[in-house]
C-alpha cells in the first residue's frame, strides 16, 4: 500500500470519525458520572447518565449544569464541576413550599411522586445551612424564579446541596437534560417523569 492509499483508506476515515465524535460530544451529548447521593434513590452514586444537550428543559426535568460560579459556598467547585439536580421552578415561576411538604408552582399543586413524603417535608424544610437570598420556604411564603434561571433541588433533599443554599441556576450554566439508561431501576423518574393529575 502506497502512502496515498494509506492516507485515503486509513487516515481520512479515522480523522473523519474523530471529528464526528468531537462534534457530538461538544454539541449533542456527553456522559457524566453522578458523584454523591443528592439524587438518591433515583440516581445512585457513581451511576453514569447521558447528558442530552439538545433536550428541552421542563419542570421536573433532571438537568446537568456547570456549578462553577453558581455554588460559591463549596470551595471544592472547580471550573469543570457538574451538578445533577431536578428543576422545580422554571423562569418566572412563583414557588410556594408549604410546611406539610406540598409544593405549588404558579398556584398549581405538584405531587412530587418521585420522592418520599419524608423527603417532601422534613427533608426539604430542615435546612443545614442558611437559605440563599430570595429563597423562602414554608406555609405562607413564596418566591419568584428570576428570568433566565431555574430553581433546582436534589431528590434526596435531606442530603442535597441545591438552590436552597446557592440560589438560582442561570440558563447559560445548563449543559443539558440527564437521561438514565433503560436498565437503571428508576429511569422513568429521571427521563420522562409526568406528575399524576
Active site residues: 38, 85
Question: Which three cell numbers mark 68?
Answer: 462553577
- Yes or no: say if 64 and 84 are a contact pair by the CB < 8 Å rule: yes
Query: Within a 10 A sphere around the Cβ of 178, how many other Cβ atoms?
Result: 23
d(CA 75, CA 140): 34
Query: Within a 10 A sphere around the Cβ of 189, how many other Cβ atoms?
Result: 21
Secondary structure of residue 12 in the 3-state scheme: helix
Helix, strand, coil % in the chain, rounded to nearest 5: 25, 25, 50
β-bridge mates for residue 82, sequence order: 66
Amino acid at each position: 500500500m502506497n502512502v496515498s492509499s494509506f492516507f485515503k483508506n486509513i487516515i481520512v476515515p479515522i480523522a473523519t470519525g474523530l471529528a464526528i465524535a468531537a462534534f457530538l460530544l461538544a454539541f449533542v451529548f456527553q456522559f457524566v458520572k453522578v458523584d454523591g447521593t443528592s439524587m438518591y434513590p433515583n440516581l445512585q452514586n457513581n451511576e453514569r447518565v447521558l447528558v442530552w444537550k439538545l433536550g428541552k428543559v421542563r419542570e421536573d426535568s433532571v438537568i446537568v449544569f456547570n456549578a462553577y460560579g453558581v455554588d460559591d459556598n463549596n470551595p471544592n467547585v472547580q471550573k469543570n464541576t457538574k451538578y445533577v439536580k431536578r428543576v422545580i421552578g422554571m423562569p418566572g415561576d412563583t414557588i410556594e413550599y408549604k410546611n406539610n411538604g406540598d409544593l405549588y408552582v404558579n398556584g398549581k399543586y405538584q405531587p412530587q411522586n418521585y420522592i418520599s413524603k419524608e423527603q417532601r417535608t422534613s427533608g426539604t424544610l430542615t435546612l443545614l445551612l442558611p437559605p440563599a437570598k430570595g429563597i423562602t420556604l414554608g406555609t405562607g411564603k413564596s418566591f419568584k424564579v428570576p428570568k433566565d434561571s431555574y430553581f433546582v433541588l436534589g431528590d434526596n433533599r435531606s442530603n442535597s446541596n441545591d438552590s436552597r443554599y446557592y440560589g438560582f441556576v442561570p440558563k447559560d450554566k445548563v449543559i443539558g437534560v440527564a437521561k438514565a439508561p433503560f436498565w437503571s431501576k428508576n429511569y422513568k423518574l429521571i427521563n420522562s417523569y409526568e406528575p399524576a393529575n
